[in-house]
Amino acid sequence: MAATFEYKEVVGIATESIEAAIKAGLKEVSAKYQIAWFEAVSLRGRMVDAETTEYQVTLKIGCREK
Amino acid sequence: MAATFEYKEVVGIATESIEAAIKAGLKEVSAKYQIAWFEAVSLRGRMVDAETTEYQVTLKIGCREK
Amino acid sequence: MAATFEYKEVVGIATESIEAAIKAGLKEVSAKYQIAWFEAVSLRGRMVDAETTEYQVTLKIGCREK
Amino acid sequence: MAATFEYKEVVGIATESIEAAIKAGLKEVSAKYQIAWFEAVSLRGRMVDAETTEYQVTLKIGCREK
Amino acid sequence: MAATFEYKEVVGIATESIEAAIKAGLKEVSAKYQIAWFEAVSLRGRMVDAETTEYQVTLKIGCREK
Amino acid sequence: MAATFEYKEVVGIATESIEAAIKAGLKEVSAKYQIAWFEAVSLRGRMVDAETTEYQVTLKIGCREK
Amino acid sequence: MAATFEYKEVVGIATESIEAAIKAGLKEVSAKYQIAWFEAVSLRGRMVDAETTEYQVTLKIGCREK
Amino acid sequence: MAATFEYKEVVGIATESIEAAIKAGLKEVSAKYQIAWFEAVSLRGRMVDAETTEYQVTLKIGCREK
Amino acid sequence: MAATFEYKEVVGIATESIEAAIKAGLKEVSAKYQIAWFEAVSLRGRMVDAETTEYQVTLKIGCREK
Amino acid sequence: MAATFEYKEVVGIATESIEAAIKAGLKEVSAKYQIAWFEAVSLRGRMVDAETTEYQVTLKIGCREK
Amino acid sequence: MAATFEYKEVVGIATESIEAAIKAGLKEVSAKYQIAWFEAVSLRGRMVDAETTEYQVTLKIGCREK
Amino acid sequence: MAATFEYKEVVGIATESIEAAIKAGLKEVSAKYQIAWFEAVSLRGRMVDAETTEYQVTLKIGCREK
């Protein structure tokens, strides 16, 4: 029985939406690991220009090596 | 004068967006209670498949019995 | 060399989405200050009616006077 | 032997004093539950007018059904 | 699709072990609700006598009505 | 529609009571701003003499320019 | 030059008011130590009867030996 | 009426179990003080060897001088 | 002189006891790293059946590559 | 009697030392305000090059208008 | 086997540097206790004059009686 | 466009100064990763002897693989 998970902590970034930033972070980690769950622990960002906002979501991701 | 509110704490879940998860949680509580305000206290989730993410938002909801 | 930033803390409010509430807060501050980054520190809200939710996002904004 | 307590979380509100707001919250819960202890976890409020302040105390109340 | 969970917060109490206190809290809630997960958020206690310690574990329990 | 509030953070000080310290902080800010709500985030103080205690309440005040 | 302070942490208890509970804690420590400042870090309590509430204020007290 | 308690903060250490570490901390303090309650505020430890883990439990202990 | 440690964060899982869950997490990490200390940062779990509880302990582990 | 202080929150930045970053933040605020005390609430930074580190200290500064 | 440590919490103060403030706090406690480790839990200070800053570091010190 | 960063968490250790401990942690991680920013999340330490203090700074480092 696999009895442990490990946490990876990443920052996903996108300008479309907070959800897109989360998905960018998940995609990066899912290339190497099997993701079981995630927790969004902070939301930061910056204004790219008057119309565009960049969202930076810090994710703690519970996962196992594939 | 009604001088108190009570807190209900729920987890709203949706795959469309974080806002949809919040609304799912509010809808459940609004069936029995009159909702005055809410606070989103955590955001967790999981990958349903490569395209779909499930958002789980924990809400503390200030409300009164109807 | 400009060696300091100041923080402005505001609550951005919108009914369309969490992102719209963030942009409302940024827009207000960007009228007088040059914004370098922001942190979303809380998300609260209320039900306007059965279909409409108001999102209130508290932002700490790192900025300088223009 | 009764081996558990449950927590009820309420917001007590009063204009006289912080203590009055706490008692308003306790009174509401004590109608249905036997209260063992409480913890005040936040204090918020608003100005009703230049002379009057409304105190809103969030209480976590350890209790059992009567 | 059931799209929400609610949180119940209880204090489980036992003198045998921390695990026994957790189980006491879970048992109480499982009489009325279907428990999906729990989080232990604090551990307090007292000395009953020189040999015996009482453990009081506060649990936040994610559940649904049966 | 006014879509944002700003936060002002002040320390109100009084020897009469905690409530008097809160009102001192609110009064200062209400001279220039329209106050919507406040949160008391810390309570500190000092002994002035054996009979007199000074209360220092840190307030975060949600407000708008008048 | 005296270059350090030590912290004493106590729980002051009173039924009259929160301020009375704070003063009870300060009085106890001031018998042996010279108090420079205090911070109230939690407020708990219990209902003594329907009319009477006991306030328990945890204080961190910055002080020096007399 | 005894109107105050003081807090003692200690780290109890044991290899048998978390409960044994808690009891080690309580025993030390109970030699000089009458213990009213305790709160476990952190759990740390180290591996002594492949079979043995040392548990280090930080306790805040509410007590009075005997 | 080795002047740094790195942190690995894992979730150890077991049904026997909290200590068994901690040991499961330590064992996984100790296969590749030399463990210097650990901190248990959260305890979650679920009911497997009426008699069996699964404990999930999140550990931050200070370690070095072997 | 001046009965309130206000908080200004700034980020002081320097490459020499953490103390230099604190002083940069204090200097900026002291141009317009009389500073009574400060609290350092976070330390962030970046590597400018292999030899040089930039320290960014967030300060909450208790002050009054001059 | 010595199975417990106690915590002493002090504020070390110095104008030279943060490190000097830490050493002032450690020196005070080391006169009576054998210090095993310390944790810096807050940094506050004040401006003595335009050139001089006073650093006040709160330390939790793990120690045993000598 | 590289849309994510990962966090590495390390403890940098030095006896010269807090800044030297931070640099030790950064140096270790910069051997394999391109560092974008860091956050100092705790400061612990120990007395090596009466004159020498060891500083242990926990850093969360935002980085990408080189």
Question: Are the C-beta atoms of J35 and J62 separated by less than 8 Å?
Answer: yes
Q: Which residues of J touch F10 (CB under 8 A)?
A: 4-7
Can you give the pLDDT at residue C66?
87
Pick from J42, J43, J52 the residue to mutate for testing the L interface (most L CBs within 10 Å): J43
| Res I1: pLDDT | 46
Low-confidence residues in chain I, pLDDT < 70: 1-2
**Is residue B1's pLDDT more than 90?**
no
- Stretch F45-66: mean pLDDT: 95
* Distance, CA of L45 to CA of E61 (rounded, Å): 38
Q: Is C1 helix (H, G, I), strand (E, B) or coil?
A: coil
Average confidence score pLDDT of chain E:
95
**Predicted confidence band of residue H63 (pLDDT cuts 50, 70, 90):** very high
Phi, psi torsion values for L50, nearest 5 degrees? -60, -25
Residues of chain G in contact with residue D34, where contact means CB-CB under 8 angstroms, are none
Report the pLDDT value the prediction gives residue D66, as an integer from 0 to 100: 87
* Per-residue model confidence (pLDDT) at position C50: 87
How high is the mean pLDDT of chain A?
95
**Is the confidence at residue F13, as pLDDT, over 90?**
yes
The answer to whether L65 faces chain A, any CB pair under 8 Å, is: no
Answer for the pair H40, H20: CB distance below 8 angstroms, yes or no: no
Segment K36-57 mean pLDDT: 96
**Cβ contact F57:G22 at 8 Å:** no
DSSP C40-64: EEEEEEEESSSS-EEEEEEEEEEEE
H8-24 pLDDT tens trace? 999 999 999 999 999 99
For chain G, residues with pLDDT lower than 50 are 1
Tokens of G6: 């030590």
**Average confidence score pLDDT of chain J:** 95
Q: What is the mean pLDDT of residues L20-31?
A: 96
> Above pLDDT 90, what percent of chain E?
89
pLDDT at E29: 96
Q: How far apart are CA D32 and CA B1, in angstroms?
A: 19
Domains of chain B listed by start with CATH number: 6-65 (3.30.1660.10)
Please spell the DSSP secondary structure of H21-65, one letter per residue. Answer: HHHHHHHHHHTTEEEEEEEEEEEEEEESSSS-EEEEEEEEEEEEE
pLDDT tens digits along K5-38? 999 999 999 999 999 999 999 999 999 999 999 9
Distance CA I18, CA I38 (A): 14
Question: What is the distance in angstroms between the Cα of E12 and the nearest Cα belonging to chain D?
Answer: 5
pLDDT at L66: 87
- The residue ranking higher by pLDDT, G49 or B60, is B60
How far apart are alpha carbons L46 and K40 in whole angstroms?
11
J14 contacts C4? CB cut-off 8 A: no
Is the Cβ of L16 closer than 8 Å to some Cβ of chain J? no
Q: How far is CA F25 from CA D47, I1, J35, in A?
A: 12, 53, 18
How does residue L3 score in pLDDT terms, banded at 50, 70 and 90? confident
Residue corresponding to tokens 């002090």: K10
Place of tokens 């209400």: F30
Give me the mean pLDDT over the J37-54 stretch: 95
Q: What is the rounded CA–CA span in Å between residue C29 and residue C20? A: 15
Question: For C1-58, how does the pLDDT look when each residue is reduced to its tens digit (9 = 90+)?
Answer: 457 999 999 999 999 999 999 999 999 999 999 999 999 999 999 999 988 999 999 9
Which residues on K lie below 8 Å from L42 (Cβ)? 39-40
pLDDT for residue A66? 87
Mean pLDDT value of segment H27-45: 97
Check residue A48 and report its DSSP letter. S
If you average pLDDT over residues A31-48, what whole number do you get?
97
pLDDT-derived band of residue F62, with 50, 70 and 90 as boundaries? very high
DSSP chain I: ---EEEEEEEEEEESS-HHHHHHHHHHHHHTTEEEEEEEEEEEEEEESSSS-EEEEEEEEEEEEE-
Whether pLDDT at C64 is above 90:
yes
Please tell me which of the candidates E17, E42, E44 has its beta carbon nearest to residue H37.
Answer: E44
Instruction: Check if G53 contacts F (Cβ < 8 Å).
Output: no
The DSSP symbol for B6 reads E
Q: Beta-carbon neighbour count of residue D36 at 10 Å?
A: 13
Asked if the C-beta of D58 comes within 8 angstroms of chain F's C-beta atoms, the answer is: no
- The pTM of this model reads 0.96
- For CA atoms G13, G14, G15, G17, the dihedral sign is negative
Give the E-state strand segments of chain G in sequence order: 4-14, 33-47, 53-65
**pLDDT confidence band for K46 (50 / 70 / 90):** very high
A16 touches chain I (CB under 8 A): no
CA distance A17 to chain I (A): 28
Phi, psi values for residue B27, rounded to 5°: -60, -45
Cα end-to-end distance, chain A, whole Å: 15
Render pLDDT for F24-44 as a digit per residue (tens, 0 to 9): 999 999 999 999 999 999 999
Any idea which residue has 């009567």 for tokens? D66
Can you tell me the distance from the alpha carbon of D40 to that of D58, in angstroms, rounded to the nearest whole number? 6
Contacts of B43 in chain A (CB under 8 A): 39-40
ipTM: 0.96
